[in-house]
Amino acid sequence: MKITINKFMLSIFFVLITFVVHSQNNGNGRGNGKPPNPNSPPPPPGTPIDGGLSFLIISGVAYGIYELRRKK
């Protein structure tokens, strides 16, 4: 049981580290480290996180809990 928990925690750790690494930019807001071209159009607006993503996360967690309880 302890090995399973350790594998789970290691997986969560790598997922969180991936999010942290991808969320860092290089200074100008575009993430490439180069100064912006003054003649370029502005970047498009970001996509909002709506209820669909929340539902997907909640259903994934619920399914994970179901699978863990079923294996016991």
| Residue 37 token pair | 């071209």
At 61 the pLDDT is: 94
What CA–CA distance (Å, rounded) separates 5 from 12? 11
In total, the chain counts a number of residues equal to 72
User: Could you give the 3-state DSSP secondary structure of residue 35?
Assistant: coil
| Residue 18 token pair | 């991936």
pLDDT digits (tens, 9 = 90+) for 17-72: 887 776 665 555 555 566 666 777 776 777 666 767 788 889 999 999 999 998 86
At 14 the pLDDT is: 86
Residue 27 region by backbone torsions, left for phi larger than 0, else alpha for psi between -120 and 50, else beta: left
This prediction has a pTM of 0.34
At 33 the pLDDT is: 60
